[in-house]
Chains A and B, each alone.
Chain A
Amino acid sequence: MANDATSQMDRRGFLKGAAAGAAGAAAMTVPGVAPVEAEAQLPDQARPAFTPEQAAQALAPETAPLPDEPDGMTVVDPGSDFMVDVLRTLDFEYVIANPASSFRGLHESFINYGGNRSPEWLTCAHEQAAVNIANGYYAVAGKPMAVITFAPSGLHHAMMGIFGAFSAHTPTYILVANILDGKERRPAFDWGPHSVVDPAGAVRDMVKWDDTPQSLQHFAESAVRAYKMAMTEPRGPVVLVVDATLQENPTGDRSKLHIPKLTLTSPPAGDAGAVAEVAKLLVAAEGPLIIAGDVARNEDGMRLLVELAETLQAPVQGGGRGMPNQHPLSGGGNVRTADVILALNEDGLYGRLNRYRDQQVRSSTPLTKPDAKVISISSYDLYMKGNYQTVERFQEVSMSIAGDPQATLPSLIEACKKLITPDRRRVMDERGKRLAAASAEALERARLECTYGWDSSPITLQRLALEVWDVIRDKDWASVGGGANRLWNVDKFYRTMGAVNGGGIGGSLSIAIGAALAHKKQGRFCVRFQPDGDMLYVNSALWTATHHRIPMLFVMQNNRAYHQEVMHLQRMANRRQRGMAVAHAGLTGSTISDPNIDFAQMARSMGAYAEGPISNPKDLRPALLRAVERVEKGEVALLDTLTQPR
């Protein structure tokens, strides 16, 4: 019949009808009868002649009253709506993800039920970038961003970012969707069969806590517990496995569900007796030295560290964002001459107190005086895992106090002040004058160092840093990674990021974007010095920055190599006394050239303003001014600058 009819139809009518019929076939086909829409396109003479009975039979399925959804076609209270309500109580500002069907329920709830507000959904093209954007956001905002991913693939992509969070004590909050129940899995063509029996097990060695809730009430309690655990010192990432079926099934009786109230645990201060003993040693010391790791969580932490240093007139080495870098007591002192060394959350203490030589026979010798007292106040002693280790060799200390430094500083400062006699005050003030003079000399030396290689091409890192500083110094700026040197006046807590880690090369770009996002609402001008090797790992993060209008300036440190590895290979070659013929170019496998990568073009392809490559230092300033103008209009800008490696 169809063939006969087709022969009588005009071509346009046939194609239109065929297309409509094909599209509607799955839903409207009646056995033995042509699809209704296709039939409607037939000319009159081609319409089949139905008897009234046949017509009634054909129309019956369409005109009968709808059944009571025996197959569960719709749902009005999906479990994921409740999950969104739970997560909203935790005050997430953002949730970030690369979309995946295992959390389609949760995704839809965030957008349509939650209105894509508090948290707002951020789109990311790779899970490693998503976790690292969250890591960078925390480093500035001081609170977690939620990341959603799925098992197994997304979680595996995310693992390096999770390792970075673990290494830097970052409380990133990770939701991992999974389809555990075998009968609920979708067919293979829809990626449905992918499932993991214990997805959190893949990252359990590098997260602080995880759980796999089996009910919505369980989810509510574990979601709050996870947040609390993540934010308790020492902080760390957490994982919550979110079952897809739990997301998509109805919530049921809401009155039976309860969302627990979040009460964060206050950080532990060091034991009062031990603190008093530390104060005695510090006040009596002739050459005290403070070595500070990631001490400050906020401006108050910076204020406290400065107050301790000024009370004792003691130099502070390190300090991250806990110490203004141009403070007269910042950066001075000497491990070799110090008689009392106070280490605060310093997880690299061995490296600071010992001289290490990476020659054929690796060796290390103590730098400290034999009778020097080394005191550690650290929350890191309260929590450690065995499999993934980020510790140096074991450092002996004289006193070890488990406690959060920022929480301990008020009582330590108070105890010191009570012990300082007028005589000790005079000694300390004299010491302070000497340290201030040394600090001024060091700053002057830093200015001098910039002049060497000033006009070199490729551009020296010192000139690059200074040129950037010169165009941002009068703005409310924030460094979101790398490059800033002593000439930058890091006078506020938020100027730098403190401890943050992407789990190795490849995480820094995303971390910077997350940090810039946290700075955005304050309108701060964010700048990032971006190495080329790192850029090549997950450069799609740039698109997340442009897509979500996160203004920031990237200044490339493009040395066209994995230069640290170049130096390591050269060390091997020298040690083995060979390979000098190719030394100038870097050994095979450690350079990024031939062809050179056009990072400006890469950035432009993702919607950023970009210029480069720039190799003449004289071209830097005008390019920087153009880029700054674009960033201040709300854009992402990138300058591909060719630099010397070190």
Chain B
Amino acid sequence: MRLGLLLLIGAVVLASESLHGQAAAAPAGNAETGKKLFVERACWQCHGLAAQGGGIAGPRLAGRVPGWPAFSRYVRRPTEEMIPYSTKTLSDAELADIYAWLRAIPAPPAISSIPQLNRK
């Protein structure tokens, strides 16, 4: 998948988030279970084990998880290249767990704390 397309996906997701905001609250999920499910249900295959994305397949999710309505809608009915997940392969409760984990991923180290990113 081309990088431009990925950025587009991100833009669509983020735009959707801004429309919906947090109006529809996410169902309660277990972040610890969600972390396991993120691996077991193959999300990591495209988005990376830390949901860091990579530019070749799935975009980064860590640090920019959209609101629940946009997120859950996209997982069920992706408008771009993403592999769709039906409720048969990933229940709403499981998706909520994954969502909880994505929301709970700690912030990465600051750019200023990484010497390799600051050399001129």
Contacts and interface: CB of A to CB of B under 8 A. Distances in A.
Contacts of A358: 81
Interface string B37-60: 001111011111111111111101
B86 interface: yes
Interface residues of A, number: 48
A460 B40 contact: no
Contacts of B60: 449, 452
A583 B40 contact: yes
A458 B111 contact: no
B117 A447 contact: yes
Given A451-B110, A567-B45, A570-B42, A460 B54 contact: yes
Interface stretch (A139-147, A172-180, A304-312, A349-357): A349-357
Contacts of B116: 466-467, 469-470
Contacts of B63: 452
Contacts of B46: 567, 646
A335 B4 contact: yes
Interface in A404-460: 447-456, 458, 460
Of B49, B52, B90, the most chain A CB neighbours within 10 A belong to B52
B95 to A, nearest CB: 13
Given A462-B52, A646-B56, A453 B62 contact: yes
A583 B41 contact: yes
Given A460-B48, A646-B48, A646-B54, A574 B84 contact: yes
Contacts of B88: 577
A454 B49 CA distance: 11
A571 interface: yes
B89 A456 contact: no
Nearest to B39: A584
B45 A570 contact: yes
Interface in A471-492: 473, 485, 487
Nearest to B45: A567
Interface string A548-570: 00000000000000010011001
A106 interface: no
B93 interface: no
A571 B5 CA distance: 18
A522 interface: no
A645 B52 CA distance: 11
B86 A470 contact: no
Contacts of A566: 45
Interface of B: 2, 4-5, 39-42, 44-58, 60, 62-63, 78, 80-81, 83-86, 88-90, 108-111, 114, 116-117, 119
Given A452-B60, A567-B57, A583-B41, 6 more contacts: A356-B81, A449-B52, A461-B54, A467-B116, A574-B83, A574-B86
27 contacts: A317-B4, A355-B80, A356-B81, A449-B53, A451-B110, A451-B117, A452-B50, A452-B52, A452-B53, A452-B62, A453-B52, A453-B62, A455-B109, A456-B48, A460-B50, A462-B54, A466-B116, A567-B46, A570-B42, A570-B45, A573-B89, A574-B83, A574-B84, A580-B41, A646-B53, A646-B54, A646-B57
8 closest Cβ contacts across the A-B interface?
A453-B50, A453-B52, A452-B52, A583-B42, A451-B108, A646-B54, A646-B57, A470-B116
